[in-house]
């Protein structure tokens, strides 16, 4: 298993729409392991493939509590098939936008259709943190970030901050 480097805002990859996975094979299962290891290492509770630079419709998550056994889950070609009218507000963060958190309102419950690592089609009815996490990660597959739900003022502030951080990370040019 390999820990992969994370794609960080304002990398334009984060705005790319990911393509459906066409075949579930050993290469894909290996990639899912890499994604999980990268997520646990960060640490985070969810990760979309695009966040490690692969524009595939695939995500991993583990929303188990600290005192519970690990519960890694892999969702391939996930699709929200129904949403509750009732909303839920949850504080969200993102491994691609480190150390920034904000409250986001989303449907409290969603039903998601997906393919598992055996290539079988499955359906999950999610609520609570699982519903929030699934919606956040599925957004990534469509190039949408949680800061898109904030006011333009807040979003611009975050983007500006991360543009500056990215600039500071670049090595200084040699002069002369
Ligand atoms: Zn995220």
Please provide the DSSP assignment of the chain as one string.
--PPPPP-TT-GGGGSPPBPP----HHHHHHHHHHHHHHHHTT-SEEEGGGGT--BSEEEE----TTSPP--EEEEEEEEEEE-SSEEEEEEEETTEEEEEEEEEEES-EEEEEE-TTS-EEEEEE-HHHHHHHHHHHHHHTT--GGGGS-HHHHHHHHHHHHHHHHHHSPPPP--
Calculate how far, in angstroms, residue 136's C-alpha sits from the geometric centre of ligand 1: 6
Query: Binding-site residues for Fe cation, please?
Result: 94, 136, 140
Each residue's pLDDT, cut to its tens digit, for the chain (176 residues) gives: 899 999 999 999 999 999 999 999 999 999 999 999 999 999 999 999 999 999 999 999 999 998 999 999 999 999 999 999 999 999 999 999 999 999 999 999 999 999 999 999 999 999 999 999 999 999 999 999 999 999 999 999 999 999 999 998 877 666 66
Q: Determine the pLDDT at residue 175.
A: 62
Catalogue all structural domains in the chain, each as residue range(s) with its CATH number.
Answer: 12-169 (3.90.45.10)
Q: d(Cα 159, Cα 18) in Å, to the nearest integer?
A: 22
Calculate how far, in angstroms, residue 38's C-alpha sits from the geometric centre of ligand 1: 13
Q: Determine the pLDDT at residue 9.
A: 97
137 is catalytic: yes
């Amino acid at each position: 298993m390999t820990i992969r480097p994370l794609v960080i805002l304002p990398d334009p990859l984060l705005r790319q729409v990911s393509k459906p996975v066409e075949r579930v094979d050993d290469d894909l299962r290996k990639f899912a392991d890499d994604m999980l290891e990268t997520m646990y290492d960060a640490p985070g509770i969810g990760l979309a493939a695009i966040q490690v630079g692969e524009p595939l419709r695939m995500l991993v998550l583990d929303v188990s509590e600290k005192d519970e056994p690990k519960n890694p889950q892999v969702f391939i070609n996930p699709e929200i098939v129904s949403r509750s009218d009732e909303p839920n507000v949850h504080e969200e963060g993102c491994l691609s936008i480190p150390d920034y958190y904000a409250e986001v309102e989303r449907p409290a419950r969603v039903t998601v259709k997906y393919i598992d690592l055996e290539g079988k089609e499955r359906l999950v009815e999610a609520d609570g943190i699982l519903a929030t996490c699934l919606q956040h990660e599925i957004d990534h597959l469509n190039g949408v970030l949680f800061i898109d739900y904030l006011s333009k003022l807040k979003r611009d502030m975050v983007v500006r901050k991360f543009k500056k951080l990215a600039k500071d990370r670049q090595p200084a040019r040699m002069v002369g």
